[in-house]
Chain A
Amino acid sequence: MEGLFDVQLAVNGKTRTVADDATITRLLEELQINPLRVAVQLNERIIKRELYERTLLQAGDTLEIITFMAGGSS
């Protein structure tokens, strides 16, 4: 069954609401992000890809999802 309550997170500087049983994997799915092309930092700590499935998101969490973008120098 889906989570009963929504929790608010900050994802890449923007507020986002997810179900209270949402994991990083679930969040990436919702955002249509390929997990193999990003790195995720949760509250200042880098989370290993193999832990995405098991990492539950909690109210007030701050996430950074980064990837490679076009760029040469500064």
Chain B
Amino acid sequence: MRSGTALEYSVSERDDILKFGGREFRSRLIVGTGKFPDHRTMQQAHEASGAEMVTVAVRRVNLDRAQESLLDYIDTERYALLPNTAGCYSAEEAIKTAMLAREVGLSDMVKLEVIGDQRTLFPDNEELLKATKVLVKEGFVVLPYTNDDPIMAKKLEDAGAAVVMPLAAPIGSGLGIRNPHNIRIILEAARVPIIVDAGVGTASDASIAMELGCDGVLMNTAIACAKDPVGMATAMRYAMIAGRLAYLAGRIPKKLYASASSPLEGMIE
């Protein structure tokens, strides 16, 4: 067990482990590698976040700077790599990208993105489902990024997705959990982990996702573009733990009227 604060201790004591695709994670936070001011800050933010998995894009090697590698700044013994198909607009393109990513030999997982529109970056769910089916058959651990649509989530699960990743809000928007009710419906029906992907803006958003019962949260912009990325990564780490603990502890039902916390008996007369 890692040494740490009481918060981490109480979580790990519960053996509260996120499992999918034959892997186990103690941290429920997945962090991106994009948009950081520099590699060193990214490295420090990853460390501060407590994450055990980071997502990476799959791109052509820049031949003018072929010696430079993002992988110099990611300890692959410590962080599982989750290659993504960001920027793909068809099933075919996403499948090709995933196949190449696996060939690098560092991960058989894929955060599957098939984007339908440049302005919203909302997924093209038809193409996404197609690509999910193919990649599952090819033996990938598939984590599709989708809308907060319970029907689509079910279809992806039935297609063999290891995890379903509904968005909280558009990618990079920082709008937070736009439709907590849909997320709850998705959670109710799910038999695979549900990890919210995209839209988180600040720590409370991560807590809300976890309080709803989500199995994890993936974020990038909220940390990378914060004024202090390392500070925000730390905040996110604790927000995830707080939200998860609150979910496991069980919140009280909301009531319209007050109910006193102090006994009426023994009042001074």
The chain A residues found within 8 Å of chain B, CB to CB, are: 11-14, 31-34, 36-41, 46, 48-49, 64-74
Contact = CB atoms under 8 A, between A and B. Distances in A.
Contact of B36 (A38, A46, A70): A70
Contacts of B87: 74
B36 to A, nearest CB: 7
B109 to A, nearest CB: 12
A71 B113 CA distance: 12
B128 interface: no
B121 interface: yes
Contacts of B34: 70-72
B71 A12 contact: no
Identify the interface centre among B34, B42, B63: most chain A CB within 10 Å of its CB.
Answer: B63
Contact of A65 (B57, B60, B171, B221): B60
Contacts of A69: 33, 56-59, 70
Interface of B: 32-36, 39, 42, 55-61, 63, 66-67, 69-71, 81, 83-84, 86-87, 99-106, 111, 113, 115, 121, 145, 171-172, 197-198, 218-221, 224
Given A12-B61, A68-B71, A71-B220, 9 more contacts: A32-B67, A38-B61, A48-B103, A64-B100, A66-B61, A68-B81, A70-B56, A72-B171, A72-B224
A39 B66 CA distance: 13
Contact of B63 (A14, A37, A41, A48): A14
B86 A72 contact: yes
Nearest to B89: A74
A3 B63 CA distance: 23
B86 A70 contact: no
A74 B33 contact: no
Contacts of A41: 100
A29 B56 CA distance: 24
Contacts of B115: 74
B63 A67 contact: no
Nearest to A66: B100
Contacts of B171: 72-74
A66 B66 contact: no
A67 B104 contact: yes
A53 B160 CA distance: 37
B221 A72 contact: yes
Contacts of B145: 73
A2 to B, nearest CB: 22
Task: Give 8 closest A-B pairs by Cβ, nearest first.
Answer: A72-B32, A72-B220, A71-B57, A39-B103, A68-B56, A71-B34, A69-B59, A74-B86
B105 A49 contact: yes
Given A46-B100, A67-B104, A31 B57 contact: no
A5 B57 CA distance: 37
Nearest to A14: B63
28 contacts: A14-B63, A31-B61, A32-B67, A33-B61, A37-B71, A39-B101, A66-B58, A66-B60, A67-B60, A67-B71, A68-B71, A69-B58, A70-B42, A71-B55, A71-B59, A71-B220, A72-B32, A72-B34, A72-B55, A72-B86, A72-B218, A72-B224, A73-B84, A73-B121, A73-B145, A73-B171, A73-B198, A74-B171
